[in-house]
Structure 1
Amino acid sequence: MAFWYCRVCGLDYDYSPWGPNEDEPSYDTCECCGVQFGVDDYSVLSTQAYRRTWLSKGAKWFYPKLQPTDWDLAAQLAQVPAQYQ
């Protein structure tokens, strides 16, 4: 069961890439969009800019071998936290 979502692409995580208080980034990389938590998504504007760039380049998975065969981009993007849409 997912509890947190990537601020850029909406990929679900079972841990918060931004720590339990949402203010301590892990600096890990999202396996879908490739955002580095705390570097590329440090603000709403930087998050939205990263998403626009990722989408304009075809929304390719950063780690393609991890992409589910039934992946639905629209459904995943719908999971982006409201304040970062």
Structure 2
Amino acid sequence: MHKNDELYICRVCGLEQSEPQWGIDGESPTYNICECCGVEFGYEDSTLIGIRTYRDKWIKSGAKWNCVKYQPISWSLNKQLANVPKKYL
């Protein structure tokens, strides 16, 4: 899909999205919910502190998928987190 385009990657968990969750301009949030970490794009991920806080809380609570039916069988938290753009770490 769009693995090389950070506009399609969740800023919190690194899951590739089907559309840019912050718009093509990277500044217009959709307020959709990430199927993996459950972040609402434009709310909990609107600041670097918010992103880090949400990610830490999600990981500490077991990094459970928000929509379990979409979780890949061979899912790896570390591999997915490696997709997070460096500026959001």
Are positions 1:53 and 2:52 aligned together?
A: no
The residue aligned with 1:81 is 85
Give TM-score scaled by structure 1 length: 0.96
Residue 72 (structure 1) aligns with: 76
Deviation at 1:14, TM superposition (A): 3.1
Q: Does 1:30 align with 2:34?
A: yes
- TM-score, length-normalised on structure 2? 0.92
Is 1:19 aligned with 2:23?
yes
CA–CA distance in 2 between the matches of 1:60 and 1:48? 17
The alpha carbon displacement at 1:15 in A equals 1.5
Runs of 4+ more than 6 Å apart = none
Between the aligned partners of 2:61 and 2:52, the Cα distance in structure 1 is 14
1:4-25 deviation line (CA, Å, top 9, x unaligned): 2000000012321000000000
Report the structure, 1 or 2, having the larger strand content.
1
